Amino acid sequence: MAGARKIDIYAESLALHEKYQGKIEVHSKVALADRRDLSLAYTPGVAEVCREIARDKNLAYKYTLKANTIAIVSDGSRVLSLGNIGGYAAIPVMEGKALLFKKLAGIDAFPICFESYNTQFANSIKNIAPVFGGIALEDIAAPKCFELEESLQGIGIPVMHDDQHGTAVVVLAALLNACRVTKKRFEDLNVVVCGAGAAGFAIIRMLKCIGYNPDICSTVHNIIVCDREGIIHRQRPGLYGNKYKFIIGDETNRTGRTGTLADAMEGADVCIGVSVPGIITQQMVRSMNADPIIFALASPMPEILPHDAFEAGASIVGTGRAEYPNQINYALAFPGIFRGALDVSALRISDEMKVAAAHALAAYVKHPRKDRLLPKILNRNVVSTVAKAVREAAVASGCARTIE
């Protein structure tokens, strides 16, 4: 039955996209009924607006769509479970994300899909930045996504790779509430992260508060990270060939453990999966500490199905899927983060803004339960709550822009 429903969803989705030729369109905010309307919206009146912005480019936030518009940029190299499908095939996903931005946060978002990644990719994004108040990088494979995001931090508008930071924010929020439910101390957790790609890297640094203000962020001290070759440790051959895995090796696994994912999960309190379906076994769950917490976030199928994890003794299980309790999806984070950033015409998204978003998201659930760590994705009140925390953190961290 579930298989038949999946086929129906795919067929229905294809029909929907054909019927509407996509999911978003442009609407005019002003009238265009007569010559006066034309003179105000276009020539000659618009010349005065141009002169004002030429005098002070920050006035683009006051007079144009820039104040509430972001670009969703992708090269289609890491789309869902589909892999490297290119810019054309990535358009439906970017349109869907634009739809979420509009419906949940009131943000106008435009898909900007490049057919391939090259050395001029960053410059191309910089050259379109004048139109937008922010850039959401999406579905760009690691390690390109790390390098690209780093290179764009000084362009004067927020640039955030959602696969990394949106996921990390939601994972932190879910883990904070899982600790409230299980009575585990956040600082005492032994955490295994299965997957060392974009999401895994950001989760690790969020949990360890690398670069974050320690006054607003508790720190997990004991983290072990696994990739396809097993546990990442400082002495592992070939580690120096990947800058980001070298950083992981330097910042985690202080006891120098080696071995496989199964070895890593022995005695762990938490396992966060951002890897591939079916990689976690029931025996691995049984080897963990009492009341283990499993976040199996692989798409389209988790690293272990909730039923199997519970049968093996898991106390709390979260996945990325809506049909199971505890959906841990970055769509809970990115609308509110960008809403808050745009509200203060932010220069960038600081670490403090991300941590504030995570704590606001966790606090939104007043009484978390084993089957309800986070709010529902389509709850619009979540966006306003997260946005408020982000705005305040932007001001406090010096990222808010002053416009005369």
The catalytic residues are 42, 97
Alpha carbon distance 358, 361 (integer Å): 5
Beta pairing partners, 256: none
- Give yes or no for a contact between 364 and 336, defined as CB atoms under 8 angstroms apart: no
The residues near 186 (Cβ < 8 Å, ≥ 6 apart) are 175, 176, 179, 218, 220
Position 48: which residue type? E
Pairing mode of beta strands 134-137, 222-227: unpaired
- Give yes or no for a contact between 142 and 203, defined as CB atoms under 8 angstroms apart: no
Q: What is the DSSP string of 254-277?
A: TT---S-HHHHHTT-SEEEE-S-T
- What is the helix (H) or strand (E) element at residue 159, kind and residue range? strand 159-161
- Give yes or no for a contact between 52 and 393, defined as CB atoms under 8 angstroms apart: no
Alpha carbon distance 372, 365 (integer Å): 8
